[in-house]
Each structure stands twice: as structure tokens, then as C-alpha cells.
Amino acid sequence: MSSTAAQKANVLWFLPTHGEGRYLGTSIGARAADFNYLRQVAQAADDLGYYGVLLPTGRSCEDSWVVASAIAPHTEKLKYLVAARPGLTSVTVAARMAATLDRVSNGRLLINVVTGGDPVENKGDGLFLGHSERYEVTQEFLDIFKRLIVGETVNYAGKHITVEDARVLFPAVQSGGLPLYFGGSSPAGIDVAASTVDKYLTWGEPPADVAKKVEQVRAAAHAKGRELSFGIRLHVIVRETNEEAWKAANKLIQYVSDDTIAAAQKIFSRMDSVGQQRMSSLHGGDRNKLEVSPNLWAGVGLVRGGAGTALVGDPETVAARIKEYIDIGIDTFILSGYPHLEEAYRFAELVFPLLPLSHGKQTFTAKVNTGPFGETIANDILPEKQASQS
């Protein structure tokens, strides 16, 4: 293990507020993102011992702040990684919202700072700034936000944001401010990360590429006298055997047509997000070039923006790949799988016991009269665990 390796890891799950299903690119097997289903996913993640959940943001999603506020009371320990959008929300209003949600959730709020990489969607939200200017806004926003959230009164005159006598009267529960998560692969994004945030996030690129990015961001932070921690966003397809896992990966995209891929890739090409460009370049829209490094599969990115890669394999293989990222210095894994309810259980049951987690985890041994797993036989006989005959 290298000197920069993370010692323990946090694993978060994902709340699919844009809807989901058993397949990508089709309405077959689809599930609506209604309150009851999202609550089920969150409660499962809470019960299984996940550190938290990420709520996505954008016009294709239900609002992350409203969903988190509605679901948090139905969970106990689960943290909520919710998006702050510089340029779309007043910084003082955003700080007030964050402090309130942290208070009503008893200190379970994490902030995901999202600058936004789709010019078309940004214009629909009233934001007409270019790429570099949006990161200028993000820096000013965070300079003010970090001071407000710890109780300071702020007077600030920036290029884009000006506030006078800005205050948050009801402070957040978490002392020292709220944890700030942020991802940006461009030089402007890396500069914001190095200057301001707590955890730098990357999408699931091959380990060698992630290692280069981590070293670049770490060096930029050191140059400013700061230390950062690192996280990664990945999908997971884990089954009891590698063969089953790869079969499940191929099944996930079995209804994705070439026309659907072309339409999705055309939309991604309009974006000025460097991270999205890096994701798209892994496969180039070609379904025959999807294993981009051992057990790292880019099939999700054929039709899904943002995180487009999945770790595929049996529990030991997936855990080994995760440990490769841990050795690089990644200490936070934001994971998802389709469908999210079932896959939250599958990943926790199969892979949690193999990982050095910093948060509480289930041992997954039942303490009721059903034996280790399975229904009691003939009302009296406990089922025996049988070894595989293969």
C-alpha cells in the first residue's frame, strides 16, 4: 500500500430521482421516481450501513433539496449529498437552506457543489455564462458560503456576486461548516477544488488515469497550502461469479439501439464539461469497446450522462478493483446499480465484508429461526448452507 493510500473507505449509494429500471435506454422494466420508491431505496441504504446517498441534480431529476428533506426523517444515520448550484441560487439563500436541512436532519447533510456542464440546460435555468465564468461564480459562491455557514456576517463585492450584511441566523449542526464535495476536470475546476473544497470527486476512469488526476489535484492543493481527500463515482454490477456479472452487464443494455446511442452521444457532444468529454472518449459511442480497463465497463455511458462506467465481476474481483482505487488515495465511493433497491442489497451483502469500511456495516448473519439464509424447512429444520458443486 502506498503512502498516499486511503486507510478506510466510505461507501455511498444513489437515489434515482430521474427514474430508473432494469434496463437502460428503454421503458421496459421502468420504475417511476415516486416518493415511496425513493424512500425504500434510502431506507435500504440506511439499514444496510451505507455512509450516505447522492441525489442528482438537473432538469431531468426531481429537486434534490425537496427529496432529501422529505426522506431524511424516514432514516436514522444516512447522510444526504445534495447539490448546491452556484449561479442558479442566491448564495445566502443556499446557505440558509443548507443550515436548515442540516439542523432538521441532525447533522446529516453533505454539499455537492455542481457548476453545470450543459450550456443548453444552463440557459433554460437562466444561466448564460461561459465555462470559465461559471467557475469564477463557483469560487465566489464558495468563498461566501463557507463563511456564512459558520456564522459570519459577510460583506463581499466580487466580479459576479455581491452581498451586504449577509447572515445565516440559525447555524448548521455540524461544527466547522458543512463538508464540500466537488468535481471538475478542467484547469478552472481543479483550481476551485484546490482552493476551496474538502473532497474532490472524479468519475470512474481507469485507475492509471485516476491516479494522474489525483496527483494533479493534490499538487495544486499543496501549492495553496491545503490538503484534500478524494472520491469516485461508479456504477457496480456484482454477481456471485464473473460470468454472471458480465451477463448482467450485457443484459442491462440489451434494448439500447444504435439510434439511441447516437442521439445520446450527440447531446453529450454539446456539453463543455471536460469530465463528460473524458467519459465519452472512453468508448466513443462504440458498443464493441466497452471494457476500458480490467473489469471497468463503459456501457452505461453509451446513453447516460455523467458517471458512465461500472465495476463488473464477482465480489472478490470488484473488491480488488475498489482497493486499487483506495491505494491511489480514494476514500469515498459513490456507487449505484440497476435497479437501485435490489442492487443496494446485493452490493452490501456481497462486497461490504471484503472492504475496509470506516462506517458501520452489517455482518449479514441472521439471528432468527431461519438459519443463515432461507426459510425453515417443514416448520422445524434449519436450512443448511451447501457448497457449490462446480
- First-residue to last-residue Cα distance in the chain: 34
Quote the cell numbers at residue 35. Answer: 416518493
Contacts 24+ apart (CB under 8 A), 1-4: 1/327, 2/327, 2/328, 2/329, 4/214, 4/218, 4/328, 4/329
- pLDDT at position 373: 57
Q: What is the pLDDT of residues 291-333, one digit of tens each?
A: 999 999 998 988 887 788 999 999 999 999 999 999 999 999 9
Quote the cell numbers at residue 240. Answer: 456471485
Given a contact cutoff of 8 angstroms between Cβ atoms, the answer to whether 139 and 193 are in contact is no
pLDDT-wise least confident of 225-234, 239-248, 282-291, 350-359: 282-291
Quote the cell numbers at residue 82. Answer: 445534495
Q: Has residue 371 got a pLDDT over 60?
A: no
Q: Which amino acid is at 364?
A: F
Bigger pLDDT: 92 vs 32: 92
In 3D space, the residue among 184, 321, 327 whose CA is nearest the CA of residue 335 turns out to be: 321
Q: Is the peptide bond before 315 cis (omega within 30 degrees of 0)?
A: no
- Mean pLDDT across the stretch 235-261? 94
Mean pLDDT of the chain: 90
Single pTM value for the model? 0.90
DSSP reduced 3-state for 155: strand
Q: What is the pLDDT of residues 341-356, one digit of tens each?
A: 999 999 999 999 999 9
Alpha helices (H) in the chain, listed in sequence order: 35-48, 64-71, 91-104, 119-124, 131-148, 187-196, 207-223, 242-252, 258-269, 274-281, 315-328, 340-351
- pLDDT at position 23: 94
Q: Has residue 91 got a pLDDT over 90?
A: yes
Domains of the chain: 10-354 (3.20.20.30)
Residue 239: other Cβ atoms inside 10 A? 19
DSSP strand pairing (291-293 vs 296-297): antiparallel
Sign of CA dihedral 26, 32, 33, 38: negative
In 3D space, the residue among 202, 253, 244 whose CA is nearest the CA of residue 346 turns out to be: 244
Q: For residue 23, what is the enclosing H or E element?
A: none
Q: What is the pLDDT of residues 215-235, one digit of tens each?
A: 999 999 999 999 999 999 999
Q: Has residue 372 got a pLDDT over 60?
A: no
- pLDDT at position 189: 92
> What is the spatial distance between Cα 81 and Cα 72, in angstroms, rounded to a whole number?
11
Looking at the chain, the whole-number percentage of residues with pLDDT higher than 90 is 71
**Where does the pLDDT of residue 2 fall: very low under 50, low under 70, confident under 90, or very high at 90 and above?**
low
Judged on CB neighbours under 10 Å (0-12, 13-18, 19+), 326 is buried
CA distances from 135 to 70, 131, 178, 236, 320 (A): 31, 7, 20, 31, 36
Q: Has residue 379 got a pLDDT over 70?
A: no
DSSP reduced 3-state for 123: helix
Given a contact cutoff of 8 angstroms between Cβ atoms, the answer to whether 23 and 251 are in contact is yes
- pLDDT at position 1: 52
Q: What is the pLDDT of residues 122-143, one digit of tens each?
A: 889 888 988 899 999 999 999 9
Q: Has residue 367 got a pLDDT over 70?
A: no
Q: Quick one: how far is CA 199 from the chain centroid?
A: 12
**Where does the pLDDT of residue 390 fall: very low under 50, low under 70, confident under 90, or very high at 90 and above?**
very low
Q: What is the pLDDT of residues 152-207, one digit of tens each?
A: 999 999 999 999 999 999 989 999 999 999 998 899 999 999 999 999 999 899 99
Measured in degrees and rounded to the nearest 5, phi and psi for residue 233 equal -110, 120
- Mean pLDDT across the stretch 371-388? 62
Q: Has residue 365 got a pLDDT over 60?
A: no
**Where does the pLDDT of residue 366 fall: very low under 50, low under 70, confident under 90, or very high at 90 and above?**
very low
